[in-house]
Amino acid sequence: RKEVEQDPGPFNVPEGATVAFNCTYSNSASQSFFWYRQDCRKEPKLLMSVYSSGNEDGRFTAQLNRASQYISLLIRDSKLSDSATYLCVVNRYSSASKIIFGSGTRLSIRP
Amino acid sequence: DTGVSQDPRHKITKRGQNVTFRCDPISEHNRLYWYRQTLGQGPEFLTYFQNEAQLEKSRLLSDRFSAERPKGSFSTLEIQRTEQGDSAMYLCASSPSGNTEAFFGQGTRLTVV
């Protein structure tokens, strides 16, 4: 079983729709959590950090449930430019830092 | 540009040849990571440095792979006796501390023919 699991999609939704992605992680020692966005043939870029209290950045909302080891990302009023792969990322930091990526969820927004 | 830089951006090599990639992290970042990414997959962790010390190494990293960060600044990743299965994007990332996000370079795309 992979340490970070995501639904690979693809999600194909109309512009303006709300879409949600889920991610689970298996190592309870994981300490910090992120969503990254990756465009085709580009490097991953940080979309947002995920905090225990939940956090929002414009149309994007991230939630963390430590008890269930579950992370989510909600995108409201989706735009064509949101089409990308969204990567769930977990940082297991103790004596060494290990940043683990999920396989990514592909999102395609259609006009 | 003060971001993470990787060189070369693209490399085509014949099977059996050795290749070396370089990564220059953001200057104040003491943590440096190498990842490998193939089509349709997320980045797979290869190895991690804190300053010059290599603290963790994935089982994915066979003995043909070696990484160094001799002065705690730039890092190199060498693949010896390349195989077709080594074809992938090799990504380098750096971060300033253990609990923060990592910043990625644009990657080195390796094609083994």
Q: Do A98 and B56 touch (CB under 8 A)?
A: yes
Q: What is the pLDDT of residues B61-72, one digit of tens each?
A: 889 999 999 988
A-B contacts (CB, under 8 Å): 60
The pLDDT of residue B98 is 66
- In terms of phi and psi (left: phi > 0; alpha: psi -120 to 50; beta: otherwise), the region of B87 is beta
Task: Say if residue A95's pLDDT is above 70.
Answer: no
Flag if B33 and A42 touch (Cβ within 8 Å). no
- Calculate the average pLDDT of chain A: 91
pLDDT value at A96 more than 80: no
Give the model's confidence band at A70: pLDDT under 50 very low, under 70 low, under 90 confident, else very high.
very high
**More confident of the two residues A1 and B111:** B111
* Chain B residues near residue A42 by CB distance under 8 angstroms: 106
Cross-strand pairs, B79: B19, B65
Residues of chain B with pLDDT under 70: 1, 98
Which residues of chain A have a CB within 8 Å of the CB of B23? none
From chain B, the residues in CB contact with A101 under 8 A are 35, 42-45
Q: Work out the burial of residue A69: count CB atoms within 10 Å of its CB; fewer than 13 is exposed, 13-18 middle, 19 or more buried.
A: middle
